[in-house]
A and B are shown apart, each in its own frame.
Chain A
Amino acid sequence: MIGLLAFVVPAWIFVIGLYGMATSRHLVHLVMCLSVAQSATYVLILEVGYRLGATAPVFSDVLSTVRATDPVVQALSLTDIVVGATVSALLLAFALRIYKTCGTVDPEELRPMRG
């Protein structure tokens, strides 16, 4: 039961984030939906590294041979979260610049540049 749920939930979060991005009417809403879709990958990659009945891979008080989860995926996720937040802030700066230049934040009303 948990096995099926564990793989449906990241897929659902990713797909719902994509749907939100595709039907968004406000650029800031779009950035938050993108952030939600990114978080689905973190959940999935941590689930791949999980072991039943295991503990965190920090061996301060347990022996190094005890059953522990995968440290590589955790290392990749934790830097990725911080960097992903900064890139989201960059996208917000772009949204602000678009607003100042074109006067709208609706992706529907933005037209491609011509000429």
Chain B
Amino acid sequence: MMSVLQAIALVLAAVLATMVVFTRDPKRQIMPYMLYGVVLSIVFALLQAPDVALSEMAVGSVAVPFAILATLVRIDHGRRAK
């Protein structure tokens, strides 16, 4: 049972990783990236690593998307202001 869950979660992670890479526009890439963080957290939890799952959830939903959004806002403003 656990093996089936792990297999499903790993395949889902691989599919989402492909989606993250092939979404070329960064403004649209943030959403698959955050989803990938959630699925990765589930993979870590299924691999019996609770600390790592907590870490990934905390970081992937708070820290990096904030920085990405702020960067994109600034770049977008600079582009339009020209």
Contact = CB atoms under 8 A, between A and B. Distances in A.
Interface of A: 1-2, 5-6, 9, 12-13, 16-17, 19-20, 25-26, 28-29, 31-33, 35-36, 39-40, 42-43, 46-47, 49-50, 53-56, 58, 68-69, 74-75, 77-78, 81-82, 85-86, 88-89, 92-93, 95-96, 99-100, 103, 105
Given A29-B29, A56-B50, A74-B52, A43 B13 contact: yes
B47 A50 contact: yes
A28 B71 contact: yes
B67 to A, nearest CB: 4
Contacts, number: 133
Contacts of A105: 75
Contact of A85 (B24, B40, B64): B64
A89 B17 contact: no
B36 to A, nearest CB: 7
B52 to A, nearest CB: 5
A52 to B, nearest CB: 8
* Residues of B contacting A: mostly: helix
A56 B2 CA distance: 14
Contacts of B67: 88-89, 92-93
Interface string B1-14: 01100110011011
A100 B82 CA distance: 12
A92 B71 CA distance: 7
20 contacts: A1-B7, A2-B6, A16-B18, A25-B24, A28-B29, A29-B29, A32-B33, A36-B36, A43-B43, A46-B44, A46-B47, A46-B52, A54-B48, A56-B50, A81-B55, A82-B58, A89-B63, A95-B71, A96-B74, A96-B75
